[in-house]
Each structure stands twice: as structure tokens, then as C-alpha cells.
Amino acid sequence: MILFRSHRPLCPDLALALAVACLTVASPVAAQRWADLDVMTPRRDAGIAYDPARQRIMTFGGVETAGPVHASPLRETWEWDGRTWTRHDALFAEPAAVELAATAYDTAHERVLLVGAASSPTPRLDLVAWRGGAWSSVVTAQQPPYRTHYAVAFDEVRQRLVLWGGSDATGALLDVWEFDGANWTAIPALGPSGRNEPALAFDGTRILMFGGRALNGGRALADTWQWDGTRWTQLAPLAAPAARFGHSMTFDPARRRVLLFGGGNDQPRWFDDTWEWNGTAWTQVAATSPPPPRSGHGATWDTVRGGLVVAFGQSDTALLADIWTLVGSSWRKLSADTPEGRYGATACHDSVRDEIVLFGGSIDGLTSSTLASDTWLYARSEWRRAMPTNSPSVRRQHAMACDAARGRVVLFGGFTYSGDLGDTWLFDGTNWTQASPTTAPPARFGAAMAFDSRRGRVVLFGGITGSGLLSDTWEWDGANWLVGPSGPTARYGHAMVYVANRGYTVLFGGDDGAAKRDTWTYDGTVWVNRGLASMVPGRSAHAMVYDPFHGATFLFGGTVGTNTYTSSTAWWDGSDWRPLPIATPPARGGHVLAWDGTARRVMMFGGRDAEGGRADAWALTTNVAAAVEPLAPSVGCGGGSGPAALRAFGRPVVGNRSFALTLSTTLPQPGTPVVVLMSRASSTVRLGACSIDVDPASVFTALFATHDHQVTFLPLEVPRVVSLYGVEAYAQAAYWDPPSPLGGLAISTAARIRLGDD
């Protein structure tokens, strides 16, 4: 195996191949890794604020549960750049998970302040600051007592952070707390009655307060108050928003108005109306195309884009993860649509249109699960909801496969609360059509399907009905269902995928009263029992996928016992399943895996764990960051032609036969020899003001560059070998170019070459 090929190598190909063997690993998929696709988890009560220093909207925390109980807090920091959310991982001194995160921008110190309520290990309020990409704890001599359901706002005139409202185990808390940038001060003052979930905002002069939830009976309130730093004053505007709690209020600095949006009441009812406070009166804004009604959302003012931004919250049916902006009187959705969290859905890669198709499943609502009949398309890292004029009915645990021979998605059966289904549907990328085969499998759910591309058949096996487990094989030829041979024992909840580079369909696991761990293969003629998996546990409700780019078959997750889920990833080596020793997404079952053709990776979405349906998406990928990067702080020694650096021609993508390195300098004479040293590691050796940064102990080749007129060009053909993903090498060039600090020998700065995907 040859890693790089030069026109004039100094070492024989055999020596180079041995060097590559030292660089690579035995497993053809060992370079695989899971990456969070940064799909924002639906949430409420997250802190949100605009950071003008970075021109980003940042958010922290929130909870994944609806209603008055703050449970399942999230410890996540995200930033919105106007197009997408980006998660910041492993930040130094990131705040602990809190049940409520309330934020405001401190204009005096140019930082975002976050007040978070944490109930464990001891109840407390944490004060932390976000300044341009890092968190820091703010230590004060005293702090407000623990509470929840409070609100904060920053008084830009008096340069104070104001906290008011909320309650603890003893009842309502009526004290006002102010933070002056160094310390908290308690200000006892009579004013509004005790309440949870009020809203505060700076109105250009003072702090404005509106509404909330009365502790006695949970009644929604509609009173308006102002805080001047000493006392509360109740206002009596002629008109006001309806009584509500969990709403947002945000200051528009350009028009010096407070904008109120949404909230809920005790009916229960959720609002989508917008109101404006001009300092003396409330006026409803006749805004078009408002966001879905919600409460517990976050809101901030984007000074660069000049608009109110609203994100997250809960509606009457689900938690939300969308983001909207109000500019003038028009609302506009900023984030792309994403499917709600679900399990028991199906997905496959439509190679004709190069997109993933997802259908149906069971969506966890606030109090129960509902079955879905929505169709989603995923390509180029974005979800798009399809709007077919005709569609299968709601269902979960149906079977689905993409028929590449006919350009159709084939769907069969599934579970509904009124009975199992036995219908066949075809999707052409735009619309669903119900098929009318002369023969068809009996109704069922929990079956599995795969498309055999060699024979042009969709294969279906097993499942369960009200009368018991099934062990029948069926094949769809594009017009009719045909009976196939007998094979594996009866089961449901198994997974099945066609392995193109081996020419057979592989089936693993399932449930027949216990989690199964047998593997079967089907070549279109006969099923073959490949025995029990020796290195992975039996499971059901797992998912499998074939990666055609790397020629590898993977499985992930599943149920290994009653309400017990696994997070293991494994790959099929042709005779057994082998675990991948990599960090994994959270455990789950009932999720989907599909090949993402546009990004050349495996995509996973949704599923269910012990707490309910999930809405997160992950990618199983190799090294997606194939690159040539300057090695800092490498210091080259230029000659008479000046400094030089190694630069990339193309990218070191595995399989790129046109990749090369170039030398960014003009040589003193055409044809001047240039040698490029390549090593497995970097190690700096100082030579006066210069440095050699390839490691002499791990240099595995020295290659002469070629010349095309005045361009120094080193072709480095990267073969399409799966085991090269993630490999790194270091390169540095040397050539004769007096005068040079090294007696006429000039050297370039070093570069790191990382092999991977696009």
C-alpha cells in the first residue's frame, strides 16, 4: 500500500509502504467517530441574550420538560450567527446545569450576565458572565436566596442588573435584588403581589414589569409596574395585554419601545400576539405571520440586524426549538424546520434524488404519545418538510426502503392504535401513491426491509401482529409482492440492510420474547445463519446502515432489556459484529440510521430512551476536516528568494489522485532541487532563528519536487484506502538558495497534512 507517490522518490516504494503500515490501524473503520450535528434540542426557560461584541445571540441552559416542574436541565452553550446555531463544547468554567437561566446584557462591562437557579447539590443562585466565547464565575459577598420562576433585566441608566419575582418552598419572594457590577444588594420594597413567571425589561428610563402567575391558584395576572431603583409604581394604562405568564419583554433601543410577545394563561391558552409599550401605554402590534403560540421562550434584541428575536418555549402540544425575528410588523422564521423528536419512524437514502426520506413515527407530547404521518427530506445538512398532496396514514414501526431501480421509496404496514396495517405506499420525491398489488404480506409492524440493488428487489422479513410473531420473507418487484424462502426464526424489532460489496442482505437481532443476537444473510436464493454475535449483545429496536463510500456496514443502539437501552456502535466484518471503541451518542432505541449522500456520512436521528422521544441528530463520519495547515510556530529560513511555505493544491481527501503540495517561493534557478521530508510526528529542532519541525526519528520518506516553469510541485496521490482516514503527516521542504542563515540551505515552514473526507 502506498500513501504518497512522487515522480522521483528517494526511497523505494516498498519502504514507503512499510512506513504507511506504521501510520495506519488494523481496523478499516477505526477512524470513524460520532459527531453531534448541532440540532438544537427543544427547550423552555433558556437564557438568551444578544452579545454585541461577537454580533451573536447566545443562549444557555433550559429544561427538556414541560409544565411548572423544572426537570432535565441542559448544560449547553449555543450561539446564533443569523443562519445557524453552533454549540460551544468544553468551555472553561462552563456553568453547572440550572433549572432556570435568566440573562441580560451588561452594557457597563460589555458582558452577558446569567442568573441560574440550581437545586443541587444545595439550592442556590449562580451568577456567571459570558464575554466573547468564555464563561467566568462572578463571586460576590452576598447573593439572593434560592428561588425559581423569577425574571431579570438590566437598567442601562443606573447600570444595575435587577432581579425580582419567583418563589421558594416557603412561598412568594417580594424582595428586589440589584447587582452593580461587583455586589448584590437587597432592597425591600412594597409593590406587586407575589408571583411566578413575570417579565421584566428596561423601558429606556426604568424597569418595566408585566403579568405573571399568582401563587394562589395559578391565576394569570395583567398588571403593569415600574421600578425606579427605590420604589415600585403601579401604572394604569387604558389598554393592556391579556393576563399571562411565561411571556417575554424586550427593549427596542432604536425606537425606545418595549415589545411583549406570547405567554400563556391558566385556561390553558397560549398566545402569539405582540404588544408595544411606549412609556405610557400598551398598543397591540398588527404583526403578520407570527410564530406559533408559546410560553417560556427566550427573547432578545439583535442590534445589528435590527429586530426582535424569539426562540424556544413550549406550545400546547410540544417543546419548541425554532427561532423567529420581528422586523417592523412582519415576523419571519430564521431557522429551518426540523422534525419533532420521535421513535418508531423509518428513513432511507433516496440515491436518485440524493436525499434522506423520513416518515412517521411516534411523537412524545406533553402528556402522551401521538402517531405522525409527516414526511421529511434531509440533504446538504438541512431538513425540509415535504408537503405531499397524498400520504400514508399515521403509524409507527412500519417498514421502509428506497428502491433505487425505480426511483421510489417503498413503505409497508406499521402500528396504529386501531389496528396493524398491511398497505403498500410509494413515494416519488414529491407525492405518495398507494399501490394495489395482487398479493401482499399480511398486516404487521416491527418488520424490516432492505433494497437488494443487485437483483432490483425490496426484501421484507418478519414482524408481529395481534396473532403472534412472523417469519415470512417477501419481495417487492415494483408492481407486486412475491413470497420468498423461509429463513430466520420469527421475530420483530430486528434490523436489515443490503451490503452491496458482499452481495447479500444482512439481518441482526430482534425480539421473540428476549433480545436476539443472531445474524443471517440472504443472497436472493437462501437465508444463511451466520451464528451468534460474539462481541456485541443481542438487541431489538436498533438500526443498521450500509456506507457505500467506505464499503462498511454499521449498527447502533437498541433495546437490550425492559426499558434498557444501549449506545454501542459495531460494524460487520463479514463473519461477526465487532464493536467500535469510540465515544457514542446517548443510548436509545427506535431511531433511524441512513446514508447521507451529499455529505458522505451516516446520519442518525431521534429514537427513544427511558425519558421519552429524542430529537437529536448525529453523524457517523471519518475525518471530515481533510486539510493542509501551517504548523505553528514553525520558523523557516528563507534564502535570496525570500521566505517559503508549503501550501496545498487541492485537499488531501482519501481517493484524491490530484492532491499535491506547492512551494510558495520562486527558486533562484529553474530546476533547483527541492526535497520534502515527511514524518509521522512533529518535533522542533532549533537552528539559530530557524526551526526544523519534522521529527527526524519518524521521517518515513524524502521526495524530490518537480517543477512546472517557476512552480515547485510535489504530486501526492492519496489512494482510496479506508484505513487512511484520520492519518496525519508532517512535511517540510529544503532547497539551496544562498544567502541563507544556514549557509545557503533554505527551508520552508512546516505543514500538517490530515487525510480525511471532504
Q: Are 493 and 541 in contact (CB under 8 A)?
A: yes
CB atoms within 10 A of CB 595: 22
Task: Share the mean pLDDT of the chain.
Answer: 88
Residue 266: which pLDDT band, with cuts at 50, 70 and 90?
A: confident
DSSP codes, 461-497? EEEEETTEEEEEEEEE-SS-EEE----SPS-BS-EEE
The β-bridge partners of 734 are 675, 747
Highest mean pLDDT among 61-75, 80-94, 354-368, 548-562: 548-562
- Sheet with 448-452, strands from edge to edge, namely 448-452, 457-465, 468-476, 481-483
Residue 39: which pLDDT band, with cuts at 50, 70 and 90?
A: low
Provide mean pLDDT across the span 494-522.
97
Q: Are 462 and 494 in contact (CB under 8 A)?
A: yes
pLDDT, position 622: 64
pLDDT in tens, 512-527: 999 999 999 999 999 9
Q: Are 620 and 602 in contact (CB under 8 A)?
A: yes
Residue 5: which pLDDT band, with cuts at 50, 70 and 90?
A: very low
Q: Which string of b and e fits 735-752 if b means at least 16 CB within 10 Å?
A: bbbeebebeebbbbbbbb
Nearest residue to 274 via CA among 313, 241, 322: 241
pLDDT, position 699: 85
> Does the predicted TM-score (pTM) go above 0.75?
no
pLDDT in tens, 277-286: 999 999 999 9
pLDDT, position 521: 98
Spacing of C-alpha 321 from chain mean position: 12
- Cell digits of residue 753: 497534512
CA distances in angstroms from 569 to 336, 572, 711, listed in the order given: 29, 11, 47
pLDDT in tens, 458-478: 999 999 999 999 999 999 999
- Cell digits of residue 72: 432535565
Q: Within 13 A of 571's CA, how many CA atoms are on the CB side?
A: 19
Q: Are 282 and 239 in contact (CB under 8 A)?
A: yes
Provide mean pLDDT across the span 658-662.
81
pLDDT in tens, 203-259: 999 999 999 999 888 899 999 999 999 999 999 999 999 999 999 999 999 999 999
Residues 6 or more apart whose Cβ sits within 8 Å of residue 339? 345, 358, 374, 376, 383, 385, 605, 606, 615
Nearest residue to 698 via CA among 673, 679, 719, 711: 679
pLDDT at 21 over 60: no
Question: Residue 212: left (phi > 0), alpha (psi -120 to 50), or beta?
Answer: left
